[in-house]
Homo-oligomer: A and B are copies of this chain.
């Protein structure tokens, strides 16, 4: 069985394992106060073209989202997000557990627009019962989205402008950011640092054992952030493990290369499905593909491959195939051949 159901099926990139092995007996202070974290922070700030950003390392995505959102909002405030947003549907209510409502916006392709945000917020402010309703105070987007789609630089700029005009925080979840960075027309990390208030760079899904790097741009979010990491259970005792991994990912452009390869492999797979006139439920240019298959096709592919089953539609069943840093060329080629045979 060759697995394609997610991009966190293996351990870590060889470069990361090597560094972890090499440094294993070096003694450092705990909780991220070590030279590896310092070096990783500097590299990330350089990528962001920012001298003033704060960079913190956390273990996982849900933990990161709940820490950032709870740190930023007052109790009566909520966060606008696509109806498909990870924080709204796949974190077991972690955001609500910190006291905040996720306010869903319709998003057939996983993306929300500046116009939607503006309408929601202006409607709220015009409502005569506004104090009886959760106040929208932050916009959460994922880049790429949970459905694999990508915000263009122009789209992100529009959302950013609306947020600034309306005094909303803009937060970008980059769990699979490397893939978005590999798509033409997508914002760079420097663009993101310019346009949003806080974002995170995903490591777990791009070849780290684990780890997400939070980049805080807006000054008032920086204050006391380490207290908040600790309070939400996200302060790793051996914080160096995060520093070592992100330092490696941002050495010699490794993070970008991982994203490029994932996207290139996905493109090959996409073509194979398209040649068979198999449609996609979401128009994803990144490493997650959502073909709509028949029961017969699912059965055929299930013999040798694992993939995740998402939902039934009128025309078939939506499944998900992911390429990852660890996908082997020969496995992808074999899968392509089996798709051709469907």
- Chain A contact residues, CB within 8 Å of chain B: 2-3, 5-6, 8-12, 14, 17, 20-21, 23-31, 59-64, 66-67, 70-71, 74-76, 78, 89-94, 96-102, 128-129, 131-135, 204-205, 209-210, 224, 226-228, 230-238, 240-241, 308-309, 326
Contacts and interface: CB of A to CB of B under 8 A. Distances in A.
A91 B230 CA distance: 7
Looking at chain A's contact residues, is the secondary structure mostly helix, strand, loop, or mixed? loop
A93 B229 CA distance: 11
Given A10-B26, A10-B238, A62-B230, 9 more contacts: A8-B237, A9-B29, A10-B24, A11-B25, A12-B24, A75-B93, A76-B227, A94-B230, A96-B99
A232 B97 contact: yes
A209 B241 contact: yes
A228 B75 contact: yes
Contacts of A227: 76, 92, 131, 135
B90 A231 contact: no
Given A3-B27, A76-B224, A76-B227, A97 B94 contact: no
B233 A234 contact: yes
A93 B237 contact: no
Contacts of A62: 230, 233, 235
Contact of A231 (B91, B228, B231, B238): B91
Contacts of A96: 78, 96, 99-101, 134
